Amino acid sequence: MSYFRFEIFHRSSRSRARVGRIHTPHGIIDTPNFVAVGTNGTLKALDNRMVDSIGLQLMFCNTYHLLLQPGVDVVRRAGGLHQFMNRKMPIITDSGGFQVFSLAYGSVASELKSCGAKKQDGHVLKINEDGVLFRSYRDGSKVLLTPESSVLAQKALGADIIIPFDELPPYHIDAQKLKASLDRTHRWEKRSLDEHLKNPQNQAMYAVIHGGVDPELRKESCSALTQHPFDGFAIGGSVGKTKAEMVSMLHTTLPCLPEDKPNHLLGIGDLESLKQCIPIGIDTFDSSYPTRAARHGLLLTQEGGLKVSKAEHANCFGPIEHGCTCWTCQHFTLAYLHHLFKANELTAYTLASVHNLHFMVALMQSYREAILQDQV
């Protein structure tokens, strides 16, 4: 299709790492790349002028949250999500399927820690073949999300890349329930694709590979979904309790996916995971880690994380990191950021987020350059 295209420039001779480029209606995405998470149509503490200047080529927004507030009809009347949030570059939206997990269990870390114990607030009311019945966390109203309604919502939002409706089962689940969830997710994804293809609307759709950490189910998911004309493949579901489990799962999964289509690792973007997963062949990653870390006063540097609130930084009148070209490092000192965090000033979140996201953009550029030289 002319509005979405993936090309590979170089494959490393040392690993499965590759350098490529995704073409979308709103611009290009160089790969491998990091995708920032703007759940409600914004990166917390930043406006899109700042985001564009940092060079973040792709942003991840959340269909379920935007469905509840401001509502997809508002976004449609605004001219779509790009127009509504004044973003010129590509956007990817998820299906709302992750909320089946998060509203039932909390974060992935919470589920792992609780060994699969569900929360008691009742936001997920029913899951069946039709879809998922939620209770809105905003006003208590009931919201039925189906494969078809999820896709139609994403059509109204108008993202460049959309995701079929899926279910993310917890890490702690028995084999029979995991298999039943996988089978239903495959049916939901096919229904999502059928709805999408009625009116492609210059959007690409990525399938989501599931199966938990069961290698045979991962292979089965790849086999089932690669039969359909998806434009790319995201790797979702539980990726394991440890980095070793995740890496093992990816070594099983990636060889089963078409090499000529882009792939995306959902919800993973910490620095150690990038280091381990890029050589396996992952093209894009999304995570809220850099911006969440920034808001907690953890600044990313080549030497590791820097906790800005430590007293030792009170009289550091140089930048966060010498040689960094971000707006924050070019205009403010570490001592000033230390002061802002100690004073609980909101500007602290903005300046720290600008630095951390710039760090991620520069890091991914360095990875691409290293792959081109067969160093990764």
* Annotated catalytic residue 94: yes
* Annotated catalytic residue 194: no
Of 52, 73, 94, 194, the catalytic one is 94
For residue 26, which phi and psi values (nearest 5 degrees)?
-110, 20
In angstroms, the CA 362 to CA 30 distance is 12
In angstroms, the CA 319 to CA 317 distance is 7
Unique residue bearing structure tokens 């001779």: 13
In angstroms, the CA 284 to CA 232 distance is 11
Q: Residues 172, 36, 156, CA angle at the centre, nearest 5°?
A: 90
Quick one: CA dihedral 337, 341, 345, 351, positive or negative? positive
Of 30, 160, 283, 286, the catalytic one is 286
What is the set of active-site residues? 94, 286
